Amino acid sequence: MQEKVEGFIIRERDYLESSKILDVFTKKYGIISVISKGCKKPKSKLCSLSSKMTYGNLNIYYKEGKLSTLTNIDSINNLSNIKKDIVKISYVTYLMELIYQVVKQVETTEEIYNLFIATILKINDNLDPLVLTNILELKLLDYLGVSPILDKCSICGSKNNIVTLSLQKHGLLCKNCRTNESLYHIESIKYIRMYYYLDISKISKIEVKKEIKEEIKKYLNHYYERYTGLYLNSKEFIDKVKELTEE
């Protein structure tokens, strides 16, 4: 039976001469694979929509654990601001790869779907893509079971006199428990704690100093490398694109 599911196409690959197989992150079923038959033909109604970064309601014949069939897509948002900006495209490319890897490791995905879509829409609204990416990265650590301790000292549990973040010790450190750990800027600590609790869908303005954003980015990069086992080539692509656009 045909049904309508909300989803976001995160991967695509050619299939035979005129079709594609699409990996779609859906609100209802998580990530599923669907075949878009004949979509590479110029006159196909699926031609322009059977591609990555398409967000809409998909009409499909769903087959659990098998290849489902796509019949139509009703666009929810064409994400035009993202698709005309190479920097935004680079961030969304990374987030699609990250989501694909994370969803494979968890059992329930609807909350992750909502976080992901909220992030994409805010990037399309021209809010800072680095800050939004870091907020989502931080929240996803919860679902992977390796979130840093951000509400108290990770060693003694004190909520007072917090002075830095520790990669090795899994979160915040107070002045009594800090040994030779590098000192993070107090603003970085404040923002990273705020990121953890923010409702992405309600963000309307983002203003973070460049040096603070860079410090938080480096911390999360190292944290992901150390605790998640995920290595994503698309993150390097972001840096290359930013270098080119800033020249």
Q: Residue 34's pLDDT is what?
A: 98
One-letter amino acid at 32 equals: I
Does the pLDDT of residue 239 top 70, yes or no? yes
Mean pLDDT of 193-205: 95
Does the pLDDT of residue 31 top 90, yes or no? yes
Whether the CB-CB separation of 20 and 40 falls below 8 Å is answered with yes
pLDDT in tens, 37-75: 999 999 999 999 999 999 999 999 999 989 999 999 999
Mean pLDDT of 107-125: 97
Q: How far apart are the C-alpha atoms of 135 and 61, rounded to whole Å? A: 35
Whether the CB-CB separation of 117 and 76 falls below 8 Å is answered with no
Whether the CB-CB separation of 65 and 71 falls below 8 Å is answered with no
What is the helix (H) or strand (E) element at residue 126, kind and residue range?
Answer: none
Does the pLDDT of residue 233 top 90, yes or no? no
CA distances from 88 to 25, 30, 152 (A): 19, 24, 34
Q: Which of 47-51, 113-117, 212-216, 241-245 has the lowest mean pLDDT?
A: 241-245
Q: How far apart are the C-alpha atoms of 126 and 130, rounded to whole Å? A: 11
User: pLDDT averaged over the chain?
Assistant: 94
pLDDT in tens, 133-153: 999 999 999 999 999 999 999
What percentage of the chain exceeds 90 in pLDDT?
Answer: 89
Whether the model pTM is above 0.85: yes
Q: Residue 246's pLDDT is what?
A: 67
Which pair of structure tokens corresponds to residue 239? 């840096």
